[in-house]
Structure 1
Amino acid sequence: MPRPNRWTRALRTRGQGGFRTRRLLELHLAVLVVTALTSMTVLLVSYREVQNSAGEMRTHGAPAVQGVAATQLALLRAHQEAQDSVDRGIDHVIGAGARYENQLSAADQGLSRLSDVQLDGERGRGVLETVNGLLTSYSSSMTPGAVKYVSDDSMQQEKFTEAQRILSRPGTGVVPRLDVLQKHQMQRVDRVSSMGALQRTGWVIAELGLLVMALTVLSALWLLRGRCGRSHDPWLLLSLLAAVALAVFPLWATAATQERLDTARHLLSRIDERAHDNAPEELADSQQDVTLDSTDLRGRLAAQSWQSWTYYGALGGGALIVLLPAAAVCRRLNADYWRAG
């Protein structure tokens, strides 16, 4: 059977069959535009949300949790170093309190950095202000005991006992207050690093929208071949490839980022655990382990250039799958139906 030429197709547009074909093409056009806009909007928002979560973990979540753990360990280590110098009888030796002072200085610096990255908002700032005041009181008691009253055992013991109460008194001590702050921060880390129901729903909508769009493109190709005598349309084929790519690559990038966030959350939980229930002789090892885990965590959360490339690639691909199929169907409608009508 000979292939319909241009004039045959034009005559068909005036018949009932041509009217139905025109309506089918217009329906395809509407479905393509709506599904492309919907799926791309949801996809880009969902992808950006995961990247924002990774950015928050990198700039605030991880430093905040690491900072509290390091500060707690430095305070406990400072107290233990001062106590050890007395127990070993070396508190009279010049420089015996150097380790205590170094650890106390590290704790003070850690608290200063925490004020910029803590995750608990106004409540967290209030905790840190209180802890800073308590740390001043602790230093006012502990430093004389470790450095000044080395020849007065009773006064030294009194200062150590007073400092111990400030450091670890249940509910109101420095370490318990930091524990409360850390608990709130870990809750925030769990929320940020986990993909919630809303994010999962967004990805389902985006993927289903792209699937509907791909099927609609295939239907439009079949319609153009069967009723309009067009074996293929390169713009529709290109939009089909773009839809498949957008359904695969952003989702893969999101899965890779989410895996890094899950690993980071587990590492932060381990860092938090190392700051608790340490025997005195294990404090130095715990500090070293926290440092190693923190270094590993920074490497895992380091910004990756491909994340931005994927987002802008998805943005460009989204423009293609909105414009190309719409232009292809509109061109055919204009050539065979609108202008002919």
Structure 2
Amino acid sequence: MTNGPATVWRRHSPAAYWRRRLRPWRTRRLLEAHLVALLVLTAVASTALFLSCRQIQRSTEALASREAPAVQGLAATRLAALRAHQEAEALVEMRLVGVAGSGETYRSQLSAADQGLSRIADRTDQDLGTVKGLLATYSNSLGLGTSLYRDQPLMQQQKLQEAKSLLSRSTVGLAPRLDALQRTQLRHAEATAAMGWWQRAGWWIAELALAAAALTLLSALFVLRDRCGRDWNPSLLVAFVLTVLLAVAPLSVTYFTQDERGGAVADLRQITALSRQHAAAPAVAQQHVTERAEEVREQLATAARTDTVYLVAFVGSLMAIVLPALGLGSRLDNDYWRRR
């Protein structure tokens, strides 16, 4: 059937003419809209990802360098003080006072308690002044009871009772004060290890922005193939794969890190419980605390090794910004911008 006047008119009608003229303009605008959307989404995702990963790194470092050692140190100091008194009482009961080398154990425990407090001082914001003063007074009373008054039973007994009171008096004694400090420090460690609302919001923003960027990349690829008759753009394909990896890998590493930090906090709770339950047998408790402390160090060291993954993710997020700009920008420049 030959083209009739109506067909010729439709082909040369103003509407058909403007559709042909506007089709490249609409395609260019559509590609430009994709480019702007990709730049905004990847920039938001990269920023949220960087801040979220950085917060995980900082909290892991704080837990490993400050909070966990402080909890362990307070538990060790408390147990050392308890064991010093136990060893001093045993020394007096067995009448070994004055025998060469007989008081080394309790003295070494007092020294360990003092050194423990000194190491904790720069790892906690709590005031240790009162505890340090009590420890010094307690050490002095214990020393007087086992050395100076060793030949005066009544004075010796008085000084040992005084030391015991300084150590275990309810609320204000050395051991209760150390226990209170340890419980407070444990709460600080739990708060540091936990992921707060702001951190969760950062990950949600990053994941949603990455998902939207992946969909926008797919849309841009199909627009180029459908409207421009182009093969799959390599830059956009690589950017799509990279976006999917960024949405999966850092989040998986974060879940792993949270598991390790949660395990470390659980061990810190056990350390706190052990230091209370085995107060009558501080030597046994010290051994258990040392074992748990080693587990905490290993878990936090494993969590800290994920820093490399976060660094790679940050570099990848920058590439996710650059690749769409190269892919769509070069196509727009070659097909549209140079013709204007």
Same fold, TM exceeding 0.5? yes
Q: How many Å separate the matches in 2 of 1:306 and 1:36?
A: 26
Give the Å deviation of 1:136. Answer: 1.5
Q: Is the 2:278–2:284 contact (alpha carbons within 8 Å) kept by the matching residues of 1?
A: no
Partner of 1:290 in structure 2?
A: 289
Alignment CA distance shift 1:308-1:13 (3 Å): farther
| CA gap 1:288/1:305 in 2 versus in 1, 3 angstroms | closer
C-alpha displacement at 1:106, in angstroms? Answer: 0.9
Structure 2 distance, partners of 1:92, 1:30, is 85
For the 8 Å contact 2:88–2:146, the answer to whether it is kept is yes
Whole-angstrom distance in 1 between the partners of 2:87 and 2:300: 34
Q: Which residue of 2 aligns with 1:35?
A: 41
**Matches of 2:296 and 2:304 in 1, distance apart?**
18
* Mapped contact 1:13–1:336 kept (Cα < 8 A): no
1:24 counterpart (30, 35, 57):
30
Q: Which runs of 5+ in 1 are unaligned?
A: 1-10
Q: Distance in 1 between matches of 2:158 and 2:96?
A: 19
Contact 1:12–1:18 (CA<8 Å) still a contact in 2?
Answer: no
- Measure the CA separation in 2 of the matches of 1:257 and 1:316: 20
Task: Please name the residue that 1:87 is paired with.
Answer: 93
Contact 1:97/1:147 (8 A) holds in 2: no
The letter for the 2-side match of 1:170 is S
Q: Distance in 1 between matches of 2:305 and 2:18?
A: 51
Q: Which moved more, 1:296-305 or 1:255-264?
A: 296-305
Kindly provide the CA deviation profile for residues 190-220 of structure 1, in whole angstroms up to 9, marking residues without a partner as x: 1111111221121111111111001000000
1:32–1:325 Cα contact (<8 Å) kept: yes
Query: Any idea what the Cα deviations from partners look like across 1:45-82, whole Å, max 9, x if unmatched?
Result: 10111111111111111111110000000000000111
- Give the structure 2 partner of residue 3 of structure 1: none
SS at structure 2 position matched to 1:15: helix
Identity %, equivalent residues: 44
> What's the CA shift for 1:340?
2.0
Residue 55 of structure 1: SS of its match in structure 2?
helix
C-alpha distance in 1, partners of 2:19/2:235?
23
TM-score, structure 2 normalization: 0.90
Contact preservation (8 Å) 2:79, 2:286: yes
Cα displacement (A) at 1:332: 1.7
Matches of residues 65-214 of structure 1 in structure 2 within 5 Å?
65-91=71-97, 93-118=99-124, 121=125, 124=126, 126=127, 128-214=128-214
Q: Distance in 1 between matches of 2:67 and 2:19?
A: 63
User: For structure 2, which runs of at least 5 residues remain unmatched after alignment?
Assistant: 1-16
Please say if 1:316 is aligned against 2:308. no
What's the counterpart of residue 242 of structure 1?
A: 242
1:225 maps to amino acid: R
Amino acid at match of 2:101: G
* Cα offset, 1:133, TM superposition: 1.3
- Return the letter of the residue paired with 2:205: I
- Judge conservation of contact 2:260–2:303 (CA < 8 Å) in 1: no
Count residues in correspondence: 324
Deviation of 1:102 (Å)? 1.3
Distance in 1, matches of 2:270 and 2:19, equals 71
Structure 2: which amino acid aligns with 1:183?
R
Counterpart of 1:59 (choices 44, 56, 65) is 65
- What amino acid is aligned across from residue 290 of structure 1 in structure 2? V
Q: 2:10 maps to which residue? A: none
Residues 154 and 221 of structure 1, relative CA distance in 2, 3 Å threshold: same
* 1:16-72 CA-partner distances (Å, limit 9, x unpaired): 222221221111111100000001110111011111111111111111111000000
Whether the 8 Å contact between 1:51 and 1:257 is mirrored in structure 2 is: no
Contact between 1:145 and 1:155, CA under 8 Å: does it hold in 2? yes
More moved, 80-89 vs 201-210: 80-89
Paired residue secondary structure (2:43): helix
Provide the residue aligned with 1:225 in structure 2: 225
CA distance in 1, matches of 2:161, 2:72: 28
Classify 1:168/1:71 alpha carbon distance in 2 versus 1 (closer, same or farther; 3 Å).
Answer: same
User: Are the equivalent residues in 2 in contact too, given 1:13–1:340 (CA < 8 A)?
Assistant: no
Cα shift at 1:303:
6.1
Q: 1:327 to 1:16 in 2, by over 3 A?
A: same
> Counterpart of 1:221 in 2: which secondary structure?
helix
CA distance in 1, matches of 2:103, 2:31: 85
**Separation in 2 of the partners of 1:236 and 1:40?**
17
What is the CA-CA distance between 1:12 and the residue it aligns to? Answer: 10
AA aligned opposite 2:309: T
Distance of 2:261 and 2:308 partners within structure 1 = 19
Q: Which has the larger radius of gyration?
A: 2
d(CA) in 1 for partners of 2:276, 2:230:
72
Q: Which amino acid aligns with 1:168?
A: S
Give SS of 2:102's match. coil
Task: Compare 212-221 and 178-187 and name the one that shifted more.
Answer: 178-187
The equivalences for 1:240-319 within 5 A come to: 240-280=240-280, 282-302=281-301, 306-319=305-318
RMSD: 1.9
Q: Which has the higher contact order (CA 8 A, sep 6+)?
A: 1
